[in-house]
């Protein structure tokens, strides 16, 4: 059973989070495209304490922070048969205490089974970006790979059997390079089952163990630099 570490302030949560690998780090460790061109060496510098990363914020992050309790409440209203619980503790893997999780919530089914609630808010400025990230090759709904690995990381910590990702997707368009306006907004729900992703969960665990060995042994990990090479967010390496 995973351990729980309570915290009372945002600064305390940040300190605890820096002592291990969180869900938002998982995609980077699996070499999934990340915003801001952050790479594994940047993450190593942060986790090893060689640099003190400021608590960054921007309008998108502030919007997400404000919307999270609203989306959680909406999901609870639409699912009256389930108990939706906000999580105010940091969860820690029972064996590897550097593998940690901050859940947006938990879903308790009528039979007592518990699952993960993950809430995402995003703004899409180009349809090609939406198609690349939120549709598969057959044009079926899917979720971005970095979001998927965040959920798989949470499976790794909690060993819960299912997760629900609720995504608030806002589409914005630029008209003559002037003011923006909302084209459309969607609230989509995706259910992910742990047993369908066991191989990837194990692969992620090994990647995280390997990365943390670089932190504890003070050895810089192999550097991978990703850079944009074309339209639609495709990336290459050098």
User: Which two three-digit tokens encode residue 24?
Assistant: 């938002």
Report d(CA 170, CA 168) in Å as an integer. Answer: 7
Higher pLDDT pick, 68 / 233: 68
In a domain, 153, yes or no: yes
In a domain, 119, yes or no: yes
User: Which two three-digit tokens encode residue 213?
Assistant: 């060995």
In a domain, 95, yes or no: yes
> pTM of this prediction?
0.87
Residue 229 has pLDDT above 50, yes or no: no
Q: Residue 183 has what pLDDT?
A: 57
Domains identified in the chain, total number = 1
Residue 27 has pLDDT above 90, yes or no: yes
In a domain, 143, yes or no: yes
Higher pLDDT pick, 205 / 176: 205
Q: How far is CA 156 from CA 1, 66, 88, 102, 153, in A?
A: 11, 28, 19, 12, 5
Q: Residue 46 has what pLDDT?
A: 92
In a domain, 187, yes or no: yes
Domain coverage including residue 33:
3-217
Do 117 and 75 touch, CB atoms closer than 8 A? yes
| Average pLDDT of the segment spanning 194-219 | 97
Residue 137 has pLDDT above 60, yes or no: yes
**Average pLDDT of the residues of the chain:** 87
In a domain, 138, yes or no: yes
In a domain, 159, yes or no: yes
In a domain, 135, yes or no: yes
Please choose, from the candidates 178, 157, 47, the residue with its C-alpha nearest in 3D space to the C-alpha of residue 91.
157
Please choose, from the candidates 142, 163, 156, 155, the residue with its C-alpha nearest in 3D space to the C-alpha of residue 206.
156
Task: Return the CATH number at 180.
Answer: 3.90.320.10
The set of residues, in sequence order, having a beta carbon less than 8 Å from that of 199 and lying 6+ positions away, is: none
């Amino acid at each position: 059973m995973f351990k729980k570490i309570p915290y009372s302030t945002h600064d305390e949560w940040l300190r605890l989070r820096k002592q291990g690998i969180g869900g938002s780090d998982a995609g980077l460790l699996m070499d999934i495209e990340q915003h801001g061109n952050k790479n594994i060496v940047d993450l190593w510098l942060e986790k090893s304490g060689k640099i003190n990363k400021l608590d960054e914020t921007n309008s998108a992050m502030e919007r997400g922070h404000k919307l999270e309790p609203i989306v959680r409440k909406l999901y609870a209203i639409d699912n009256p048969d389930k108990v939706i619980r906000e999580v105010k503790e940091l969860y820690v893997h029972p064996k590897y205490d550097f593998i940690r999780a901050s859940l947006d919530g938990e879903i308790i089914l009528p039979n007592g089974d518990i699952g993960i609630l993950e809430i995402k808010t995003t703004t899409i400025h180009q349809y090609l970006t939406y198609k690349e990230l939120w549709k598969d090759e057959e044009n079926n709904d899917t979720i971005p790979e970095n979001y998927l690995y965040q959920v798989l990381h949470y499976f790794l910590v909690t060993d819960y059997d299912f997760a629900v990702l609720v995504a608030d997707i806002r589409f914005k368009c630029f008209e003559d390079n002037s003011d923006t306006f909302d084209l459309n907004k969607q609230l989509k729900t995706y259910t992910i089952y742990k047993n369908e992703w066991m191989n990837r969960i194990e692969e992620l665990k090994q990647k995280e163990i390997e990365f943390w060995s670089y932190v504890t042994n003070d050895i810089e990990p192999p550097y991978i630099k990703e850079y944009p090479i074309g339209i639609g967010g495709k990336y290459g390496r050098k």
